[in-house]
Chains A and B, each alone.
Chain A
């Protein structure tokens, strides 16, 4: 059974860089997309972005200028960096695997359905001096 575990500092100072790592166990990191999602206290879910195992990325346009993601397949880990953080970045940060279906038409293959499963337990990151 695939399990994900987030790790990283729980406290980050304003204007600094938030760095988190997600470790995948019980299954492969290859052939999947991997995502970061966050949830400010008492609020809803915000998709931050995702990375394919080959390193290609897709970020939420609202965060794109501050976000970078990377993957280390040898360690079965992927990472998030969010720079220039403010108090508004205080949240529980989740990592999740993106499952997807693929269909092929006319010699080209496309991504069909996508859904997040499983999720890590989440880690609270507080931005404060």
Chain B
């Protein structure tokens, strides 16, 4: 099984800050990596697929990078509505998720 590990597990940042979340795979998954945003009480929403491809309608302040075993999700200028939990997901083999990163706005 491929294990996905996100860091940090939680963080707090201010509006306008640049925020980076990291996801590490236990083995090479090429670019088979998605990022999701889940607001409280809501279903997850896909932000990025194939490591860096921004989904239609997702604000351009979100970006993804990486390949192989290390990936990052970056929010260039944090907005109040970005308060949520973010999950990475590998789709190289089974479709499992990282444990999540809770992002709080100060």
Residues of A participating in the B interface, judged by any CB pair closer than 8 Å: 35, 44-47, 50, 58, 60-61, 94, 96, 98, 113-117, 119-122
Contacts and interface: CB of A to CB of B under 8 A. Distances in A.
Contacts of B43: 94, 96, 119-122
A113 B91 contact: yes
Interface of B: 1, 32, 34, 36, 38, 43-46, 49-50, 53, 55, 87, 89, 91, 94-100
A122 B100 CA distance: 18
Secondary structure at chain B's binding surface: helix, strand, loop or mixed? loop
Contact of A47 (B94, B99, B100): B94
Contacts of A121: 43
Instruction: List the 8 closest A-B pairs by CB distance, nearest first.
Output: A119-B43, A115-B49, A114-B91, A45-B97, A47-B95, A113-B50, A44-B100, A117-B46
Contacts of B87: 44-45
A47 B1 CA distance: 13
A115 B100 contact: no
A117 B91 CA distance: 14
A60 B96 CA distance: 9
A115 B46 contact: yes
A115 B94 contact: no
